[in-house]
Structure formats: C-alpha cells, structure tokens
Amino acid sequence: MRCMMSCKRTFERIVRSILLMSIVLYILFTNNQRTLADEMPSVISFDGTYTYDRMVYDAQVLSIYYPDVISLSFEGQTALGRQILIMKLGNPGAPVQILVHASIHAREYYVTPLVMKMAEYYAANEKELLQSVCFTIVPMANPDGVSIAQFGASAASDINYQTFINYLGHFGMWKANANGVDINRNFPTGWGNAKTKSDVNSYAYYGGTEPSTEVETLVLENLLLENNFNAYIAYHMRGNVIYFYAPTCSPEIFAASKLIATTIHNTNGYRIIVDADEETPNGSFADFAQIVCNVPGCTIECGTKLPPNGASAQNSFYTQNLMGWKNVAGLFLQIK
C-alpha cells in the first residue's frame, strides 16, 4: 500500500512538473501582444484539498506569471522532509515591510489558499502598491502538521513517524507539527506559561522540551529577527474574531497593534477581542513578535468551522479579508 501511494505521489509530481514546464514554454514563446495579466487564468482555487504540494506548484506558477513582483525561497527542512515556502510579494527593498503567515496550526489549513489567492490578486491588480510595500508571506507555516490533519499518518513515509502519529491520533483536530509540538507554544517568550497545555507530545498544546526546538519555529523567528518588519498579520481559524494583545508588550506596540486590528476590523467586520486576563506571555508567535522584536500586528481567526467542514466559507473569507493587506500597508505609507 505504501509503495502504491509513493508511486502515485511520484506520478503526480511528474505531471505537475510537465504542466509547469508547459507554462514556462508558453510564456517564453507566445507572440500574443496582449499583456501577460490579460492572458492569465486564475491559478488559486478553493476546490478540493489544498495540499502542500499543490501550494508549492501554485506558487511556482504565480512566480512565472508575475516575476516582477513575486519571488520564492524555501527555508529549513521539517521532520518529514518538507521545506517551508516563503513568498516575497512586492519590492524587496520597499520602505514598508509586512510579514504574513498562515496555518501555524495544522487543522486550520483553509487559510493557506486564502493568503495564496490574496497574493494572486495583489500581484495582478496592485502593482503600484507593491512598488512601496513588500509582503513576506509564509502560506503554510506548519506543512507537516497540515499534511497530518489532511491525511493522517500516511503524511509520513517513515514507519517510525507513522507509528508515532497513529499513537497520538486526533488527526482531524491536529494542531502540532510531526513531532507533536504545537509551534504556537514553542517560541521563547513566555514559553511554558500557557494555561492550556500538554506536558507530553500531543496533537495540540505541547510546547516542546524547551523553546525554539522546532524548525518551523526557527524559520519564523529568523524572519522576524533578520528583517525590519513594520507589522505582521497571522491567519488562524475560527471565530471570525481578531486578537492583538501580547501581555507585557510596550504601550507603543500595544497602540500600534490595536490600530492594525481596528483597520482589519473595518475591513472584514470581525470582532476584536482583548484577553485582559492574560497577564503573561505564553510562548506564542505574537508574544515573540511584539515583545522581543517590537513588531506590532494581529491574529485573524477566520470562519466558524474547522476543515473539512465549511469549505464553502472560503469564498467569504476571501471577500471579507481581501483589502486587509492594502489597508494595513496604508497605515505605514502615511507615516512614511
């Protein structure tokens, strides 16, 4: 069975490679005088299961269609051998720099095609904005976990990982990576302080043996430490709500994050929540970004149902959130 699945995946990769090469040849040799954007069909679709391989393929197509504003890189290597895709959308030297990430929690993977489709729209329609703004996008911050949430233990080819994943179970509710570590509990700021936590490897809430043990964590940490971001936007599911408060952040970061959250609220209509009961950070991405790196931002929780339910809601996610990036960027363009 494993051999058949491996052969199927190999065949699918070959087909994708052939399709991608066909696109390259078309772009290189077409004599049509219309602009490339006029020729381009929609790339990102919400139909079916949006897998890691599908995301990588779509990103490659977008980088070919829009080479002036999209470039790709891959960082780290996860426990199951996947690299984390990083997409630069806009002018890398732009005065405004914004970090966007999605699917740090595996079971929330509908937000990956959301940010991919938003990136496609901006590449095709917001060229002027992208001269002054660069969005660094991590569309699937936890690719192993997403694959487990989608396919269970078969997401791993290694028999030991398959046994381990099967032992932990709860695939449909899986938040962690392949090591059973919740990435959004693994950052050093307030590590181990989460009220909801597991003391052992689990499908959710386990912060690891110590901070920053996971490749996925380190990729996001390094992005924050190595770039001068004006803001971040993190996409999660569910609740149609917005969070922005990181306990013990400075008053300046609090005010900036509140302004970003309000701007997003005015865009998508989601309710803003400030959890004033949280007195200490808990090892989350937001804690590290706001408290250590002084990068303001907010977390957007889309929808009311987790995958695979509520697939039809993805179109509403897209409509509600589409102008969020532009509106947040506008805050900093005004300052500039």
The closest of 262, 269, 268, 323 to 297, measured between CA atoms, is 262
pLDDT category of residue 36 using cuts at 50, 70 and 90: very low
Lowest mean pLDDT among 30-34, 61-65, 109-113, 257-261: 30-34
pLDDT at 265: 98
pLDDT at residue number 274: 86
For range 157-182, the mean pLDDT: 96
Residue 32 in this model has a pLDDT that exceeds 90:
no
Arithmetic mean of pLDDT, 128-157: 97
267-278 residue pLDDT tens: 999 999 987 667
The predicted pLDDT at position 293 comes to 97
* Cβ 310 vs Cβ 304: under 8 Å: yes
Mean pLDDT across 49-66:
97
Per-residue pLDDT at 29: 44
The phi-psi region of residue 242 (left if phi > 0; otherwise alpha if psi is between -120 and 50; otherwise beta) is: beta
Number of H helices, E strands in the chain: 12, 8
